[in-house]
Amino acid sequence: DVKVTQSSRYLVKRTGEKVFLECVQDMDHENMFWYRQDPGLGLRLIYFSYDVKMKEKGDIPEGYSVSREKKERFSLILESASTNQTSMYLCASRGQGQNIQYFGAGTRLSVL
């Protein structure tokens, strides 16, 4: 079974803090994704990566950056957290040539 692990289930941070969300997958997938999920808006893509050190902006990259130094790990960084970044963050991965994305358990981030 594909396993996508997000390091934290719940996080509470203060406005202006730098926040790191970590995601690790164990299936040697080339593609990894970060989404945020808000009520009524569904999942929106923040960034994705198709290879080590490669990244592409999604629909809502503003205020976020990402890092992929190793194939299995994809990190989402909030450089200076703001209250409007309070959300559920979901990481996903997908193997090359496949079209199914597998999701981690999610991190519920609250920025106070």
Partner 1 sequence: QKEVEQNSGPLSVPEGAIASLNCTYSDRGSQSFFWYRQYSGKSPELIMFIYSNGDKEDGRFTAQLNKASQYVSLLIRDSQPSDSATYLCAVNRNDNNNDMRFGAGTRLTVKP
User: How is the chain classified by DSSP, letter by letter?
Assistant: ---EEES-SEEEE-TT--EEEEEEESS--SEEEEEEEETTTEEEEEEEEEETTEEEE-S--TTEEEEEEETTEEEEEESS--GGG-EEEEEEEE-TT----EE---EEEEE-
Q: Give the one residue of 29, 55, 68, 94 binding partner 1; rule: CB under 8 A.
A: 94
CB of 43 vs partner 1, minimal distance in Å: 4
Number of residues engaging partner 1 in binding (CB under 8 A): 22
Of the candidate spans 21-29, 62-70, 71-79, 102-110, the one that interacts with partner 1 by CB under 8 A turns out to be: 102-110
Which parts of 21-80 interact with partner 1 (CB under 8 A)? 31, 33, 40-45, 48, 50, 56
| Interacting residue ranges for partner 1, rule: CB under 8 A | 31, 33, 40-45, 48, 50, 56, 90, 94, 98-106
